[in-house]
Amino acid sequence: MAILDVVKWNANEYLYAWKFPSEELSTWTQLIVAETQEAVLMKEGQACGPFKAGRYTLDTKNLPVLTSFLKIPMGGRTPFTAEVWFVNKMMTLDVKWGTSDPIQLQDPKYNIMLPVRAFGQCGIQISDSLEFLLKLVGTMPAFDRIQLTSYFRGIMLTRCKDLIAKKIIKDGISILEISAHLTEISNALQVQLKAEFETFGVSLVNFYVNSINTPEDDPAVAKLKEALARKAEMGILGFTYQQQRSFDTLEANGT
């Protein structure tokens, strides 16, 4: 395979990491790193970098660390092999998340079990390229948004379910009224998740819970909403449930 003169990446916004397909480099290869990127050289499990935005000649004179890292003699044009990884440092603000299945919780106001779903989005940015590559990407040739959200989905949903359940139970908030507390829940979840994301070299820029709701086609939800609508109707007409029962009894008896 021919030795490369130039190594660079035209980043795709949905890719967070990408390995250059060839490993045939030399001490005259030009490494070009864009403003929104960082690059890392990998050799036999060891990492060199990250290289920030700029143009680099992979020469031991310009980059003395290569002498020990790649065991390349000083000076001269020397071919060598190494993996070149590029990391996308752009901030992504529209990463979607959501519960795959509703969780069953007892509504503290109406004392019935209701299914609860949550949906939202978050913003992320790769903060530590080395940590990200070593702990998440590994040997994969690329790492995209789907893989990242899939990896963190379990953490996000576990924390989200726990906090929503505690909020409903501890504060006695009805599931049908929880939407009034979305900002509070979002802020609390961001604090909880931030440290866990940073462990993998990922910064959680923001975290939003956009909706906490119940499926409209669930029988328990439909029955509760029907009862609430009936109650509201009786309130408007000016009589109570007991009076309504009396009217129903009289009608049944034909009086």
Residue 169: phi and psi, rounded to 5, are -75, -50
Residues 26 and 64 in one domain: yes
**Tokens standing for residue 121:** 């989005």
Higher pLDDT, 202 or 238: 202
Does residue 221 form part of some domain?
A: no
CATH code for the domain of 159? 3.30.479.30
Which residue from 102, 196, 191 is spatially nearest to 155, judged by alpha carbons? 196
CA 114, 120, 125 angle in degrees (round to 5)? 145
Higher pLDDT, 55 or 110: 55
Which residue from 36, 17, 202, 35 is spatially nearest to 125, judged by alpha carbons? 202
Q: What is the pLDDT of residue 247?
A: 47
pTM of the complete model? 0.79
- Look at the alpha carbons of 66, 69, 75, 79 in this order and tell me if their dihedral is positive or negative: negative
Q: What is the pLDDT of residue 190?
A: 94
**Statement: residue 80 has pLDDT above 70:** yes
**Statement: residue 68 has pLDDT above 80:** no
Q: What is the pLDDT of residue 141?
A: 93
Q: Exposed, middle or buried: residue 110 (CB in 10 Å: 0-12, 13-18, 19+)?
A: middle
Residues 249 and 149 in one domain: no
Residues 124 and 197 in one domain: yes
Q: For 151-176, what is the mean pLDDT?
A: 87
Lowest mean pLDDT among 71-80, 121-130, 233-242: 233-242
Lowest mean pLDDT among 17-31, 117-131, 193-207, 216-230: 216-230
Tally the domains of the chain.
3
Residues 32 and 128 in one domain: no
**Statement: residue 228 has pLDDT above 70:** no
- Which residues, at least 6 apart from 167, have a Cβ–Cβ distance to it below 8 Å? 173, 178, 181, 185
Domain region containing 157: 92-215
**Statement: residue 227 has pLDDT above 80:** no
Residues 165 and 98 in one domain: yes
Residues 242 and 197 in one domain: no
In whole numbers, what is the pLDDT of the chain averaged over residues?
A: 84
**Statement: residue 203 has pLDDT above 90:** yes
Residues 124 and 53 in one domain: no
CA 247, 251, 253 angle in degrees (round to 5)? 120
Residues 107 and 199 in one domain: yes
- Which residues, at least 6 apart from 76, have a Cβ–Cβ distance to it below 8 Å? 27
Task: Give per-residue pLDDT as tens, 108-160.
Answer: 888 888 888 899 999 999 999 999 999 999 889 999 999 998 889 888 888 98
Does residue 166 form part of some domain?
A: yes
Residues 186 and 246 in one domain: no
